[in-house]
Structures are given as C-alpha cells and as structure tokens.
Structure 1
Amino acid sequence: MNPYRLALALPLAFLAAPALAQQLSPEEAAAVDRLVTMTLADTGVPSASVAIVRGGETVFTKAYGKQSERAGAADAKAIYPIASISKQFVAAVLQQLENEGKLSLDDRVAKYVPDVSGADRITIRQLLAHTSGLQDYWPQDYSFAAMSTATKPQGIIDRWGKKPLDFEPGAQWQYSNTGYVVAGQIASKVTGKPIVQLMQERLLKPLGIRAVDQDDAVGPGHPQGYQRFALGPVRLEPPAARGWLYAAGDLAMSAGDLAKWNIARLNRAAPLTPDDWAEQETPVKLTNGESSGYGLGVVAGNRDGRRTIEHSGGAVGFLLQNMVFPDQKAAVTVLTNGSFSDTSTRIATGLARVVLPPTNAEDAAVLTAARTLFDQLRRGQPDAGRLTENARFYFTPAALADYRQSLSALGEPTSFTQAGRASLRGGFVQRRFRVTYPNRTLAISTFAEPGSNGRWEQFMVSPTQ
C-alpha cells in the first residue's frame, strides 16, 4: 500500500456558498465540472469520481473521463479501490470488538499474533496509530517485484513483520501497512472470520454501502488503473496479484458509497458509538508526549482554519482522497484511476472550496471584491472608485495595458482563493491571493483599507510556483 501522504493544502477552486446550503447551485455545479475536467486535462489522469456532502447530506456525485479501456460514459456508481482509506474501517471493527469485551486496544499483540517482532511490547492501538515500529512492507509508490505473485497475510508477516523494529513502540510515528496486516489478523483470530467479512457485516451492510474486496474489483465493469513514466504517455498499470492489500487497503467502493460512511461520521451515528468516532479522531500521543497527528485509521488535520478528518489512499494505478469537515457537516471524496500526479488532492481541495463557506465573513467579502478587481484588470478597466490615490498612481496606462494583455491571454482561471490569513501592516490589511490556471499559478499581493469595503492600496500580480 502506498505510504500515507500528508497532502499539502493547495488552495484551489472557490465559490461563496451559504453555510446551510444543500444542493449545489448551477453555478457551483459548473465550478465543480470545470475544476475536475481541467485538472484531468492538466495531469493526464484518465478519470475521477467525486462525491460531495454538505449539511450532512450527499448533494453531488459524478464521474468524469475514461474509467477503463472498455467503458463507455463514466459511471458514478463504478467501484474504485479506496486503498488506505480502508484503514479506518479496520480500526472500527477492532473498536467494536473492544466494546463487546472480546479484546482491548491496549492488549499486547503477543496475545494474538506472537510471532511478530516486539509483539510483547506493541499494543493493538499502536498498530492502528502507526506507532508500532513495524517496518512498512510497501513504502514504494509503485508495484514492486514480489507483488506480481499472490500472497497471504502470513506471508507478509513472515517477510516484514519479523524484521527488527524500526523504533521502540510508541516512540515515533511511521506509516506501516504491516501493522494493519497484523491488526486484520487479530480481528480474524478473535472472531474466526476474514476481515473483509467483518467489515461487510458490521459496518458496510448496515449503512447500505456496496463494497467488495479490491482484489475482486477487476475485469469488465470495473475501472482500470493507469500509470505514467515521467512525462511519457499514460499507460495501463496491471493490478497487483491477490492478497497484497489485505487489511492495509482491502476495500473497493464508489465515491457515493464512501460518502455514506462520511455522513455516519458527521452524525456520530451507528455502526459506531459517538465515543468510538471521537476516539478514532483523537491523535495518539507518542511516549515523549508529542501528538502524532494520527488517530486510529485517520489523520486529524486542519485546512484553511477548519478541522479535518481525512485519509488518502494509493492502490496500483489509483490515487484517492477523502476529507471530512466535522464542524461544517461537510465532506469531499475523490477517486482517480491514475497512480501519478496530485490530481486527487488537487480536486478534493478545490471541491472543499466550493462546498464550504469562508471562515471569516470579511474575508469572504474581500475575496469577492478581489476577484472583481482581477477581472476588471483582465479587461484593463479597474473601478477607480475602489482604488486609493497611491493605487491609481501605480496603475498607469502602461501598467493597465500590461495587466490586460498578459492576464487576458491566460483565459478563465480555474480557481481564485485567499492564501493564508489576513494581517495588519502600515495601517492596511494585507492579504495574499492565489489564482490557478491549468498550466500556471499566479500570486496576488494586496493591501486594502480596513473593512469589507475598504479601497485597494495595492494589487500586484506576479507568477509563482
């Protein structure tokens, strides 16, 4: 399984939306379409399937692009491997077993799987939190040689789970798919059932989620994975042989079905208890008292000042992203069939900008005003009444001509967002904005008079990474 990538918060598409809005407006839906289609065109990833939750309800599902060499129109119900996003389901099963008195998350692994290195010192909780010290069996971002031959959980444990620990349990955080293979084995030994069956019976069927073992999500009717070598052509990527993802990334489902799980999380609903959801989302502390940033199968993070519970995933030929915003009752899911580029994260972050209102009402108003001025400068006709004397001095006829010619040539941007927080300087409010196009990004440095209707003292556009 790909090591979990703590994805960068790349500010992307934004449309101001009411906090309590439900269904996407036509303008918002159009923004989603532009974001996804332009990102796929930019990166070469063949397809994406997305789901949006707002107000605790699924308000949008849609698939784009080519899901396989055999498929016709993209199908939002198509099942993609969700890879490491599956880990939170494995953790949930073990939490349920603890509630039933069948085990404790603080039990030592030796009680169930004694032949693992450090089994007498590693707890189940440390397996789920990636603090066990067990060496990861799949750190690569590609399918390595052994993955062309089928394996079983014990085969993974024998080869990687018996190596010396990378560190003393609890001392560090290091992503370990091996730890989840051991966790899946523990659940099976306690119940006598395979981990996929346990997830189906205990979690998926109660929520009406249609899911399969990712090893079975191959062949006609299923999306195919694709790869790319450097900047070469996009090519089909053969799936791994059976058994390699096991409890580290066992499930395959549609974006809409994963949204059902996100809604259960937002509502603190069955099949987990409110305490179980909270426990999953609480970062585990290391032995030195520092937070790991990771709970039980999920990352507890923050994007643009909003609390997030999220996880990415990578299967052979697929990259996925799932973000939940508990305080806003919102979530976004993006499943893609390309094992290259930042497409899934780029789209997910952009969708969040469509779904979520700004964290600050004044920032929202100024963002709209900044976009208005930007569009005016693309036409070479800024509203002089919104500029201070110094700004009017700066925007000479030559400056306006350069702004118009250079910006209009870029076409319509795919996003316009505030980057970072506002701050005070020289009696003005300083803000920075980011404008993205399929092939480039612009930075805007601004100073404005205080208040949502303050005049612009500075509005300087420059290229950036």
Structure 2
Amino acid sequence: MNIKVHRICVLVFLTTSIVSIFNIVFAQSLEARIDSLVLTEFNERDGPGGVFMVAQHGKAVYQKAFGKANLELDVDLTPDHVFQLGSMTKQFTAVAILMLEEQGKLKVSDPVLKYIPDYPSGDKITIHQLLTHTSGIKDFTKMKSLSSISQQEMTPKMMVDFFKNEPVDFAPGAKFEYNNSGYILLGYIIELVSGDTYESFIRNYIFEKIGMTQSYYATDRRVINRRAYGYHKKEYGYVNKTVINFSVPFSSGSLMSTAGDMLKWQNALTKNQLLGVESTKKTFSKYRLNSGEEFTYGYGWHIRETNGTPVREHGGSIFGFKTMGVYIPDEDIYVIGLSNCDCHSPTQLTRDIAALAQRMLKRRR
C-alpha cells in the first residue's frame, strides 16, 4: 500500500470513528435530557408509570419505560407493554371512514340521514361534521345517565339510541366542541357501510395490513400478552381502574396498542400505505365553521403550530390510562407517551419532549 492510499484509509477511519463517537455522545445526551423531563412526573419506581418513545424518519431514537405495569404482581413496565389508547382511537376511526370513501362506499359530505334514516335532524348533520366535532349533537360522556349503561354490553345502535334524542348543543357547523358521540356515530356508519364489525374492520384493514401485531379492540376478558394494568390514585394509595364495558366508548375510545405499534401507525400514514395523497391531505387540513372562522382540528387530529412549526397531535383519557401522540411533519419526528394511571398525564410532557427532540435533532444535522 503506497503512502497516499494509506493516508486516505487513515483519514476515512478517523472520520468514521469521530462520527460514531459523536453519535454515541449525542444519543447519550438526548437520552439523559429526556429522562430528566420524564422523571419530573413519572418518578415513582414502585407505582404505575409510563412508556415514552421518540422517533425520527420512522426509527426510534429513544424508547424507555418507567414504573410498574402491574402493582399486585410487582411487574416492571417495558416499552412493549399494551396500553388502552382512549381517544387516540379516533385517529383510526377517521382513517377508516376515509378508506371507505376511497372505496366509493360513502362521502364525507353525506348527511347522517343517508345511513341512519331515523336520526333526528340527520339531514342537516354531515359525516364531515362528525369527524371535526362540529355537529352540535350531545356528547354522551356528559350525560348524567351514562352510569346506568357503563357496564352493559351495548350494540352500536343501542349507543346511538342512548344519545340521539338529546337536545343539540348548537346548530351543525356553528361551533367546534370536542364530541365523543360523533365518533360513536362514525363507528356505526363504518359497520353499516362495510357490512363488518368496527373491531373486525380495524383489525383486518389497518392492524394486520401494517403489522400492528400488539394492537386490539379493548377487552378485560381476553388474555393479552404484556397488558399494562390501569390505576387510579386515591388519598390512601393506588386502586385498580374503574371497570367499564368497552362497547360504550366503542369507536371513540376502545383501542389498545403499544408505543412500537403506534410508530408503525404513524409510518403508515406518512408513507400513504392506508390512504392516498388526497385523503391524507383531508385528514390533516384545518377547516372552517359556518361563520368562516377557522378551527384547528382535522379528521381525528388537532392541527396546531408550536413556535411557528406545524404539529399534529391527539391525546386520550380512559379509566386508568392517559395517552398522547405528537408528530412534527417538517422534521418527521414522532413522540408517543403512554401512562397506566390517570393520575399521570403525559400530554404536556410529550409536547415538551417533542420540542426538545426537535431542537436537538436539528442541531445534529
């Protein structure tokens, strides 16, 4: 080997070594700073905790669990544990509706009356308004009589009948107000149009299609590997979550998943594996009320800006669990936070982690 070639080889080796050392140091720095943020809230080793993941360009750059998955059995949480998603379920319901629209089986501009002929004022409420929380129908979670059905097995029609005759809160399209009933109606429409159950449709056309092997329609009876158990916190300590029948939250909040599977979900959306470009654009667009005022919700996601940067996000809350997902399209950064105690909200923490990751990952470039 001549001297010139030798020098080139040495230079390549040194450059590669420096880059490797830099990446290791950077990863350690990112991990330490995220750990520091998480431990401000999730700092009880023997209590319920959470799982947090940061990914960029489809790959996890941080993934860690804190606390216990099961207090009775003293089982530590791992990044692979399965959590109830709560209202993050709405993302899947919205995408399922758009998949059916692409198949020509419905249009988001269709009135509810087209699919549920006996729905009050169903000629004035559209699927679009259900998706965007602008329908004005009564949110069943605010009804005092909810406790009377919370542990009953309810069909989608029974759920719709439970709230359909309640007085509306406002005229369709007049206002944005977060609404779970709208997403119950969407799940019912999915079943009517597809001829399949909501559970089966989500499993067959989303979970199985993109390899979400640890994601489920929630159940307290089925044995689910690596299930994280949910808890409440009382003055005297932790107690097991309140038991409900998952047919009640249905398509507004009854799915379960892991951080890893939720990354597969985000990657599938980014790569248009489930929806075409135009449908994806619909999902992540802002819309306007009848007055022309713009509001910051698309189809199943809040569409916001943080310090001038576009952000898509959505959280969830259901007995014993709280969740949050944040996606920064410009940097292709996805952050997910999952908690198995409704005493610990990952909402602001996940946003803070996303902002930190954005700053640090930008700097690395």
Q: Shorter chain as normaliser: what TM range?
A: 0.7 to 0.9
Q: 2:256 aligns with which of 229, 252, 255?
A: 252
Paired letter, 1:215: T
Contact 2:77 2:228 in 1 (8 A): no
For the pair 1:296 / 2:299, whether they are aligned, the reply is: yes
Paired letter, 1:51: M
Q: Which has the larger radius of gyration?
A: 1
For the pair 1:236 / 2:240, whether they are aligned, the reply is: yes
Alpha-carbon distance between aligned partners in 1 of 2:358 and 2:189, rounded to the nearest angstrom? 39
Partner residue of 1:94? 97
Q: 1:223 aligns with which of 221, 225, 228?
A: 228
Alpha-carbon distance between aligned partners in 2 of 1:24 and 1:354, rounded to the nearest angstrom? 13
Alpha-carbon distance between aligned partners in 2 of 1:92 and 1:223, rounded to the nearest angstrom? 26
Q: 1:205 to 1:33 in 2, by over 3 A?
A: same
Question: Which deviations, in whole Å up to 9, do the C-alpha atoms of 1:59-96 show, x marking residues without a partner?
Answer: 23222111113352212111101111111111111111
Paired letter, 2:353: L
Partner residue of 2:331? 328
Q: 1:212 aligns with which of 210, 216, 240?
A: 216
The alignment-based identity, stated in percent, is 26
Question: Which deviations, in whole Å up to 9, do the C-alpha atoms of 1:82-114 show, x marking residues without a partner?
Answer: 111111111111111111111111111111112
Secondary structure of the equivalent of 1:119?
Answer: coil
Secondary structure of the equivalent of 2:246?
Answer: coil
Alpha-carbon distance between aligned partners in 2 of 1:300 and 1:164, rounded to the nearest angstrom? 29
Structure 1 unpaired stretches of 5+ = 1-20, 365-465
Contact 2:303 2:311 in 1 (8 A): yes
Post-superposition offset of 1:358: 6.8
Alpha-carbon distance between aligned partners in 2 of 1:217 and 1:133, rounded to the nearest angstrom? 35
Paired letter, 1:272: L
Partner residue of 2:55? 53
Alpha-carbon distance between aligned partners in 2 of 1:324 and 1:217, rounded to the nearest angstrom? 33
Q: 1:347 to 1:178 in 2, by over 3 A?
A: same
Contact 1:87 1:297 in 2 (8 A): yes
CA RMSD of aligned residues (A): 2.6
Question: Which deviations, in whole Å up to 9, do the C-alpha atoms of 1:407-462 show, x marking residues without a partner?
Answer: xxxxxxxxxxxxxxxxxxxxxxxxxxxxxxxxxxxxxxxxxxxxxxxxxxxxxxxx
Secondary structure of the equivalent of 2:66?
Answer: strand
Alpha-carbon distance between aligned partners in 2 of 1:152 and 1:23, rounded to the nearest angstrom? 54
Contact 1:239 1:317 in 2 (8 A): no
Contact 1:22 1:55 in 2 (8 A): no
Q: How many residues align?
A: 337
Contact 1:24 1:60 in 2 (8 A): no
Secondary structure of the equivalent of 2:189?
Answer: helix
Structure 2 unpaired stretches of 5+ = 1-22
Q: 1:114 aligns with which of 105, 112, 117?
A: 117
Partner residue of 1:439? none
Secondary structure of the equivalent of 1:252?
Answer: strand
TM-score, normalised relative to structure 2:
0.85
Q: 1:313 aligns with which of 302, 311, 316?
A: 316
Alpha-carbon distance between aligned partners in 1 of 2:300 and 2:168, rounded to the nearest angstrom? 21
Paired letter, 2:141: W
TM-score, normalised relative to structure 1:
0.67
